[in-house]
Every structure is written in C-alpha cells, then in structure tokens.
Amino acid sequence: MNRALIVIDVQESFRRRPNWEAVSAPDIVARTARLAAAAREAGDLVVWILHADPGSGGVFDPGLGHVRLMDGLSPAPGDPVLTKTSRNAFTTTGLQQLLTARHVGEVVVCGIQTEQCCETTARLAADLGYRVTFVTDATATFPIEHRDAPPGRALADILADPATLPTDQIIARTEYALAGRFADIASIDDLAPVDDLAPAAR
C-alpha cells in the first residue's frame, strides 16, 4: 500500500491576512519542509494543494498573485500541485483519481488550517477508505471569533475577547474529533525523526 503526504494550503495568501500575527505555528514552512523531506526519503508521493477563490478580490483570488506556496517551499520534480475551491482537497480536484492511479491507500495530512481544510480533508479521506494520519504539529490555525462577535474588529480586540476560541483549544478539539474515528494522530517527530533526515532538511 503506497502512502502520500497531502500538504494543504501552505500558501502566501495566509500571510497577507491581518490575523497571520496570531498563527499557531509561525514556522509552518520549516515544519512542512521537514515532513516533505521525510516523505520523499521514504519514497512517498508528496501532493501540494492550493486554495483559490477566483473573482473574489481577496487574498485567495489568483489574480492577486498570492495563491502560491510560501517562500521556502517548492515542489520537487514529479510532485503534483492541485488547486481547490472547496474546503476539502478532494471535491473540486482530481486528487482521488491521482491517488488511485498511484495505488495510494494511506494519506498523511498537514497544512493550514487545522480545523478547516485539514480536518475536512482527513474526514473525507477516511470516508473514502484511506488510512489517514493527521500530523497535528505540522498544521496551523488562527483564533476564532464567537459567531455573535461584531465584524471588522482589530486583531487585538479579537484576541482580548474571552469568547474568542484560542488556537490551543481549536487544535485539541480537532484531535479529539479525529482520533479513533477518522485518523491516527501523529507528530512530526513520529514521521520525520531528525536522525533520519538529510542535513539540508534539518
């Protein structure tokens, strides 16, 4: 059974949003690069996913030039790069067909955001019959305002609001929801022990 690392939305769009200052893993590029290096070393397929909202005029609109991998990440020759317009990485791409053609039965999920595109992809992958590993510390997310919060607040006001859900609680909730149902929870160290990596990937 072949395995694929699915890297979701580690793209410049997120760094263009005001809430980037509150991201749970500001070093997500280094974490992702380490995981991708280990996947290649193991002979696994690495698939890069980007998110686009064409015509939206926002940071995910391809016309603005931000729908690209963050600096420090680049596909290796032969790495597929797919662009989605849905939360999960399957519905609006040919990902399932690609994995089927490569005889992939297990997927490893990482990227941005933990509880949105990453968790949704993991859930759907499990429903499609894949064995799923969710590498929580190779995902990143942002504080979430309460649904009744007034729109347009400054980041400082959002963070000061006791009703705002902090990133550590978001991450913990995702692990609780996925573990034993949709995915095995793993860490970067589980999949990419430092001693096993080439010097350039450390």
Query: Which residues form the catalytic set?
Result: 117
The answer to whether residues 116 and 12 touch, using CB atoms and an 8 Å cutoff, is no
The tokens for 177 are: 């929801």
- C-alpha closest to that of 32 among 139, 105, 117: 139
- C-alpha closest to that of 201 among 57, 86, 30: 30
Question: Distance between the two ends of the chain, CA-based, in angstroms?
Answer: 28
Name the burial class of residue 173, with classes exposed (0-12), middle (13-18) and buried (19+) by CB atoms within 10 angstroms of its CB. middle
